[in-house]
Structure 1
Amino acid sequence: MKLKLLLFLYFINLSVSFANQQDFKTDSLKVVELNKYAEKVRQIDPKKTIYTANQALRLAEKINFELGQAEAYRVMGTGYSILVEDDTAISKFLLALNLFKKHKDFYGEAMVYNNIGNRYKNYDRRKALSYYLKCISIAKKIKNDELVAGCSINVANIYTKSNKYEAALSYLNKSFEYFKEKKDTLSISIILLSKGFLYGKTKRYNAAVEVLEECEEICLKNQYYPRLSTVYMYLADIYMAQKKYNKTEDFIKKGLAISERVGEVKLKQDFTKQLYYLAKSKNNSVDALKYLENVYKEDSISIRDLVSKKYSLHQEQFDFIEKQKQTEILLEKQKTNRVKYIAAVIVLALSFVVIALLVIQSRKKAKTLHKMRELNEEISVQKENLDKINQNLESIIEERTEDIKAKNLKLSQYSSHLSHEIRSPVSTIKGLLLLDDEDLIDDQELIAEVKRCVDDIDNKLLNINHMLHNPQYKAFVLPENSANIIPPPADNSEEH
């Protein structure tokens, strides 16, 4: 009964563990899918990217899937980056980096270095370049050519900001060949956008317009709206430099519409500044002043929002540190519980082994006892047979002993009778011989007497032999008239 109960509890435990594993597997796949979708739509709708990444983060925290949390933080950071909320973006990237390092996920670590470099490129080029180089180093170490090519685009951007345009174009061309082979439209659009900017800086306006129009076509086809707004900004700059103000105004309006659609405040401010420079170039001081007021108003609002976000960021960091401490405590508890669980499983397994050994041993003992009983029964039967044989032997021996005793008695009596019965005729013969020596008896009488004595002896010997070999005579006793037992043989002398 105890064995059945233990087996029942063991199978219940296995079933619960299997169910938990299945739930974790299903939820972790859901986290991965949410992160992939969030990253896919980041250029189309960065706010949706942040919302979806938050969903993935909450689910990953629920099942304690830390790599899923790390990727959710990273994707969330890319969403904030596109919305030009750099402080929030960097905080998310650092959270992701901490988790990727903890689990030694080199690819995730390299991706975060690349993302952080993208945020620093507008403020600290040297720092940004150091993050890019870290990314390339890890990418080469794990032999990820795609990541090397992607990060090379960012290195080109650093060279662009450092006015090293040809070096930047060289890096872009190398990356372009890789992504063109892979048909990666997103990366191709980034490279074309950067090349258009570089051509504009080097006053190769026709080449700039050509690549930017190609980039516009890709962005419209794939709905890369934030990048499309940047394309319109660069085209507006190029046409303004060529004093083509109508085209400049058209592209600024297009860019403003897209920036409002995707909610990019920084891009909207940049387009407002372009309107100010356009009005200034047209010597339209009224419109220029109006646009300038809007720029300063939006800057003041942005500053207030930035301060508020910094306070919120500090609070988030504090909450994260506390949460991380709680997570570490929870992990320690989980480790302890895991150790206890493993120990319990081991003890249970050992119990089953001991029980199995005891069952096997008891069965062996039962078999041994059964064999011993069979052997005892067989021995008992053999003993009974031996007892019967012994009894038969004793009776046979007793019979033989009695027979021998009787025969010994007969032999003794035979010896006694032989010496007595045979002695008398022999003495008679001797006496007759003495009489014959002295001529006291005639020959005929002597012969007759000797013949009588010989017949007497022969008759007695026949009687003795008859009694010796006949079992009905228990004792050797001759009657006084011994000739009556066995008649002497017929006298055939006259015939001869």
Structure 2
Amino acid sequence: MKIFAVLVLSVLGLSVTGIAQQSKIDSLLKSLPAVVDPLQRVDQLNSIATFYTRTSVEEAEKIVRESIGRAREAHYKKGLADALKIAGVIYYVRSEYTAATEYYYQSLKLYEELKDFGGEAKILHNLALIFNLNKEYEQAYTFARRSIGLKRKMGDSLGVANSLLSIADYYTGTGKYEQALRTGQTALERYKGLHDDVGISHALLQIGEVYARQRDFPAATSFYKQGLQQAQRIEDNLQITASYKKLGEMFLAQEQYDSAYDYLRATIAVAHRHHIRREEVEAMRFLATCFEKTGDLDSALYYTRALATLEQEIYGRQSKEQIATIQVIYEFEKKEQELGFQKRIVRRQYIAIAGVTVILILAIMLGYKFYGLNKSNAEAKDALLKLNHEVNQMNENLESMVRERTEEIAAKNQRLLEYAFFTAHEVRGPLARILGLVELAKLQELRHEHEEIIVRLQEAANELDEVIRIINRKLESTKRL
């Protein structure tokens, strides 16, 4: 009856949370046609796909494939990385870990190119989960440590808690139970401080697993049931199936077969409805073991055959998905190569345009320089012509001045010639008479004629004085010239 009550309550809880979840999806779908911008449309498709991963992975897959196609058409790397991450989550829920890993690696590559440390840290965390499930613990630990380093660098408290839980899973898988409990409790306290119900559910299940490994079944049962209640409240189908399966496995280990049967049947029902193949397979294997131990060999055979059929189906699906994934990777790489080729062409065109631009700039600079030189030459030519004109004017003025000066000098020379001629003829006559009369005055024989000689000397002297006056006037007129 207790198990029946748990199942009823879980169904009621799923109904309430499912309505809220579906309401959010309906709201996003209703507003989707109005989103015109291709990048915003990809982001909204990714949001819808994320919500669908909790309710219907088939619908999530349809949405995310559309998102991947649109993101590639728009060359929107961030949107493509998010869509590939969601695709990885879808295949993780289906327990198809090979395909999930392929999508995660593609997403990780894009996040690294974008230097999106948050996206990179989440992918590393998801990869750590897969490697823990596959018991590749060292690889899981490496991814978890890388993830926690990035999250601490970014100050992402929730991300650190998620990575701590992966490390706790690593410690559990390697038998380091004390470290696993400490790390799990640290993660749980972080989740509670952040009021993160999803994280609380995961941490409770992880701690319950540690106690179950140590065969402390009462403590394990307490943590498993707390984790189940949290998962039911938030409609985390993956955690609900994991909780049912862990409780069934634990009761089987305690040989409480009725309780084990109820929880394992509940696991198969939820896992089958939500395509959580890994949990469905393991639940069938445990149920077959349960019936084998109770002696119900027909039921054991039935579940063994059902298990074989399901595993074959999963193997076939995984093969198809691997082929599809390889095809997707091939197409992606092909488009990347084409994009790289186009980028090289564009780069060459940019280089050619840059070269032509440089040549044009140099030509303009040279033209401007030649224009400046021509302008300078024209100005110099004008200045030279002006100077030549001034020189010609000066030459003409100089010639006029020389001509005038020559005429002046010629006039002076003429005056001087006249002066010399006048001096030679006019002055010499009176002077010669004076000299002659002086000689006559010296003679004794002519003493009685001295008076007449003096008169004559007086006349000659007056004549000479007049000549000198005339010479002075001529000299004055010459100076004025």
Name the TM-score, length of structure 1 as normaliser.
0.71
Q: Which residue of 2 aligns with 1:493?
A: none
Aligned with residue 115 of structure 1, among 122, 126, 138: 126
1:181-231 CA deviation, whole Å, 9 max, x = no partner? 444432222111222344455565554454344434433443323212333
Q: Which residue of 1 aligns with 2:305?
A: 296
The change in CA–CA distance for 1:294 and 1:237 in structure 2 (over 3 A counts) is closer
Aligned with residue 227 of structure 1, among 220, 223, 239: 239
CA distance, structure 2, for counterparts of residue 177 and residue 209 of structure 1: 20
Aligned with residue 375 of structure 2, among 367, 377, 384: 367
Q: Which residue of 2 aligns with 1:494?
A: none
Give the conservation status (yes or no) of the 8 Å contact 2:437–2:453: no
CA distance, structure 1, for counterparts of residue 417 and residue 392 of structure 2: 37
1:266-306 CA deviation, whole Å, 9 max, x = no partner? 445666677778889999x6xx9579636734641551352
The change in CA–CA distance for 1:232 and 1:256 in structure 2 (over 3 A counts) is same
Following superposition, the deviation at residue 340 of structure 1 comes to 0.7
- Name stretches of at least 5 consecutive residues in structure 1 with no aligned partner: 1-25, 475-496
Q: Does 2:69 correspond to 1:58?
A: yes
CA distance, structure 1, for counterparts of residue 468 and residue 176 of structure 2: 161
Give the conservation status (yes or no) of the 8 Å contact 1:83–1:265: yes
1:425-470 CA deviation, whole Å, 9 max, x = no partner? 3255336525775224263x44433322222222233233334434
Following superposition, the deviation at residue 405 of structure 1 comes to 1.6
**Counterpart residue type for residue 457 of structure 2:** V
Map 1:174-323 to 2 at 5 A. 174-200=186-212, 202=214, 204=216, 206-235=218-247, 249=262, 258-259=270-271, 261-268=273-280, 293=302, 296-297=305-306, 299-314=308-323, 316-317=325-326, 319-320=327-328, 322-323=330-331
- Name stretches of at least 5 consecutive residues in structure 2 with no aligned partner: 1-36
Give the conservation status (yes or no) of the 8 Å contact 2:287–2:303: no
Pick which of 50-59 and 158-167 moved more.
Answer: 158-167
Give the conservation status (yes or no) of the 8 Å contact 1:111–1:135: no
SS at match of 1:263: coil
Following superposition, the deviation at residue 366 of structure 1 comes to 3.3
Q: Does 2:376 correspond to 1:376?
A: no
Map 1:39-54 to 2 at 5 A. 42-54=53-65
**Counterpart residue type for residue 313 of structure 1:** Q
Following superposition, the deviation at residue 354 of structure 1 comes to 0.5
Give the conservation status (yes or no) of the 8 Å contact 1:436–1:442: no
Cα RMSD after superposing both structures: 4.4
Q: Which residue of 2 aligns with 1:465?
A: 472
Give the conservation status (yes or no) of the 8 Å contact 1:44–1:226: no
Task: Select the structure of larger CA radius of gyration.
Answer: 1
Pick which of 180-189 and 368-377 moved more.
Answer: 180-189
CA distance, structure 1, for counterparts of residue 418 and residue 279 of structure 2: 152
Give the conservation status (yes or no) of the 8 Å contact 2:121–2:151: no
Q: Does 2:89 correspond to 1:82?
A: no
Give the conservation status (yes or no) of the 8 Å contact 1:38–1:53: yes
CA distance, structure 2, for counterparts of residue 351 and residue 37 of structure 1: 54
CA distance, structure 2, for counterparts of residue 158 and residue 472 of structure 1: 133
- Count of residues in correspondence between the two structures: 440
CA distance, structure 2, for counterparts of residue 452 and residue 392 of structure 1: 50
Following superposition, the deviation at residue 131 of structure 1 comes to 1.7
More helix by percentage = 2
The change in CA–CA distance for 1:120 and 1:432 in structure 2 (over 3 A counts) is closer
The change in CA–CA distance for 1:270 and 1:102 in structure 2 (over 3 A counts) is same
Give the conservation status (yes or no) of the 8 Å contact 1:259–1:265: yes
CA distance, structure 2, for counterparts of residue 211 and residue 422 of structure 1: 168
CA distance, structure 2, for counterparts of residue 353 and residue 260 of structure 1: 72
The change in CA–CA distance for 1:164 and 1:296 in structure 2 (over 3 A counts) is farther
User: Identity over aligned residues, as a percent?
Assistant: 15
SS at match of 2:447: coil
SS at match of 2:338: helix
Following superposition, the deviation at residue 132 of structure 1 comes to 1.1
The change in CA–CA distance for 1:247 and 1:303 in structure 2 (over 3 A counts) is closer
The change in CA–CA distance for 1:370 and 1:465 in structure 2 (over 3 A counts) is same
CA distance, structure 1, for counterparts of residue 103 and residue 72 of structure 2: 15
Q: Which has the higher contact order (CA 8 A, sep 6+)?
A: 2
CA distance, structure 2, for counterparts of residue 162 and residue 473 of structure 1: 137
